[in-house]
Chain A
Amino acid sequence: MSPEVPSPTRRAVLRTGACALLGATAGGCGFMPAKTPDAQQLAPVRARVDGDLVYFNWADYVDPSVFKGFEKEYGVKVIQSNFDSMEGMVAKLNAGNRYDVVFPSAKWAQRLVHGGRLRRIDHTQLTNAHAIFGKYTYFADPWYDPGSAHTVPFTAYKTGIGWRRDKIGELTGSWRDLWSDKARGKVFLLDDRDEVLGMGALELGLKVSTGNTGDLDRITSLLGTLRPHLRGFSSDSYNNLLNGNAVMTQAWSGDMAAMLNQAKDPSVFGFEAPKEGTPINSDCYAIPWNAPHPGTAMLFIDYMLRPENVKKNIEYIGYPMPVAGTEKTYADLVKPFPECLVTEDDLRAGLFFRNGGRAAEDARDTAWTHVKAG
């Protein structure tokens, strides 16, 4: 070090630190844009190659060979990244990260549309749109996105009970089965606020997304009676069943279908959709307002809707997709668990988890703390 360089005084170090602090705080503000962007103002996107595809989804949610096919046909690259929760996905979008195609669930799609974060999708630009909207008319005008103006449905699934036939025999087809003495101490619930509160609500004949504190108190005390039967909260339902830690578990239909590939003998497992009703959910394709290559995203969505690709994806991930002509593929896949099928009637029953106001969300949050912490 040369002697001319003056050694920093304590003050100088503090000053530099203060600047860094200010910079960081300003950066923090930047992640909360003052003005909500409004993608409604943007013209619908034309389907054309305008760059590589920046893809953002759950891990392993599309057959890799489908990506390869897309890359080859259109001469673009698919740049993948993954999220592990809807909240994480939206946090990345809010932070200004740019993706071409994202896959929100119904509830989150509605929030993103309300926030003006999604570009409109012109169905006439999608040559395969009729295979969805012509057959599954529910999706022509879903509650979360009127007219499906900003989204295209990707998968649909429901929540039920998975169990070990070899350990506890047959069930009665009701959510009450979770209280069965035969499974005492070996029951898992999903580690998911909406699913657990929704299950309690269905058992009591209430609305699945209720934010009413009286309703939530009833749900909390009902679930309190389930605690002695519980072994834990875990969303890893099929591994818990496979390794025998669970004999019964709340489970997503798609996970149970995916388990069929791994089970040595599927006949020891069962999946039921309880008669009180089963929560329904749907993931969809969406293009964020700041997508760098929205045209390629449109081509990708259209490509994913081709029946041959839908079939590959169904077989790969175990989730049904509402595309005409692919029903048999899914029915074959879930032959041992026919209750995994999602029908138009299931969709119309409308047991989707809906967005509540801030007060309702906070009340649900408190109820979940009480259910989880006892």
Chain B
Amino acid sequence: MALLRPSSRIRRRGTGGDRIWTWLMVPGTLWMTGFLIASLVLVAVLAVGTTDDLGNPRFGFDLSGVRALADPAYSEVLARSLGYALLTCAICLLIAYPVAYTIALHAGRYKHALIAAIVVPFFANYLVRMYGWSVVLSDDGPVLRTLRAVGLADGNTKILNTGVGVVAGLVYGFVVFMIIPLYAALERLDVSLIEAGRDLYGGPVRTFFFVTLPATRQGAAAGLVLVFLPAMGDFVSAQLMGGPDQIMIGNLIQDKFFQGQNWPLGSALTMLLMLVLLIGMLGYLRRTRKDEAEARR
């Protein structure tokens, strides 16, 4: 990711620096090859394997797992997951931008404390946080009680076990991934650009849309990818907050590996999901490359 790459300025500093960077890459490379690439290869191979009676995966060549993907149930669930993930991205962006903007440009000395206040709760176990959230959204929970008190909901309104509940869970779970890159981008924003916009008789709204927003779109793009990837594969939110019509692709994959003991089909589904994610990732890479090219001009 462009944001994480050491800048070319450091790299050009000479051979000694070069050597340090190469050595620093070794543990990461080993880790990635050992645990990411190798396990990916295993998943790909298992997609055409079989399962024995004890639930052990067995290598072989059997296309039944891949062929089973043709079942329309999977494309339907995949489309639903895609919809939920995109909606989650949009809502996260709408929530995160004002938060990041306020903290980066107007929080003064409370900046770091506020960022900590957002990040620290995130360290609590994801499952526990989601479980708590499901209590908050339950029929007798505080959210619905408040809505009923002000007349915005009646006795039959529910959030838990609906699509609204699932998306709320996903937004709650992943909004931090949007706030942090946006904050980083806004923090680096050259405020003289905003002043220049004002000098050129741009009102606050015009300045925001023509200066601030374009200058921070890399942060937004990074945030969108960071939210989209986990939201697409998530299975906890649909399990705790969803009903029978909110099953996501992650739930099906989990079922294949556990209850179904059908590792080949689970692996094939995983590969399908990765394919979809790869398309989103490629879009992001093209976008950032174009931006970099423009910046260099």
Besides A13-B29, A366-B68, A366-B71, 4 more A-B contacts (Cβ < 8 Å) are A230-B244, A368-B260, A372-B252, A373-B76
- Whether B161 pairs with A87 at a CB distance below 8 angstroms is no
B34, CB-defined interface residue at 8 Å: yes
CA distance A369 to B255 in the complex (A): 9
A233, CB-defined interface residue at 8 Å: yes
Q: Of A16-24, A48-56, A174-182, which stretch is located at the interface?
A: A16-24
Q: Is the interface of A mostly helix, strand, loop or mixed?
A: helix
B53, CB-defined interface residue at 8 Å: yes
Q: Of A69-77, A111-119, A132-140, A142-150, which stretch is located at the interface?
A: A111-119
A328, CB-defined interface residue at 8 Å: no
CA distance A227 to B239 in the complex (A): 16
The 9 A-B residue pairs whose C-beta atoms are closest, nearest first, are A24-B38, A365-B260, A17-B33, A7-B19, A20-B34, A193-B259, A232-B243, A115-B54, A230-B244
B216, CB-defined interface residue at 8 Å: no
A32, CB-defined interface residue at 8 Å: yes
Max chain A Cβ within 10 angstroms of own Cβ: one of B51, B74, B260: B260
- Whether B138 pairs with A245 at a CB distance below 8 angstroms is yes
B55, CB-defined interface residue at 8 Å: yes
Q: How big is chain A's contact interface, by range? A: 35 or more
CA distance A20 to B139 in the complex (A): 51
Q: Of B1-9, B20-28, B97-105, which stretch is located at the interface?
A: B20-28
Please give the residue numbers on chain A whose beta carbons come within 8 Å of chain B beta carbons, in ascending order. 1, 5, 7-8, 13, 16-18, 20-21, 23-25, 28, 32, 85, 87-88, 90-91, 94, 111-112, 114-115, 117, 191-194, 227, 230-234, 243-245, 355, 358, 361-362, 364-366, 368-370, 372-374
B247, CB-defined interface residue at 8 Å: yes
- Residues in B22-68 with C-beta less than 8 Å from chain A: 22-23, 25-26, 29-30, 33-35, 37-39, 41-42, 50-51, 53-58, 64, 68
Max chain A Cβ within 10 angstroms of own Cβ: one of B39, B73, B259: B259
> Measured between C-beta atoms, what is the minimum distance from B19 to chain A in Å?
4
Q: How big is chain B's contact interface, by range? A: 35 or more
CA distance A21 to B251 in the complex (A): 29
CA distance A234 to B55 in the complex (A): 24
> Measured between C-beta atoms, what is the minimum distance from B64 to chain A in Å?
8
B245, CB-defined interface residue at 8 Å: yes
- Whether A17 pairs with B30 at a CB distance below 8 angstroms is yes
List A contacts of B23 (CB < 8 A): 1, 7-8
> Measured between C-beta atoms, what is the minimum distance from B55 to chain A in Å?
6
B154, CB-defined interface residue at 8 Å: no
- Whether A13 pairs with B243 at a CB distance below 8 angstroms is no
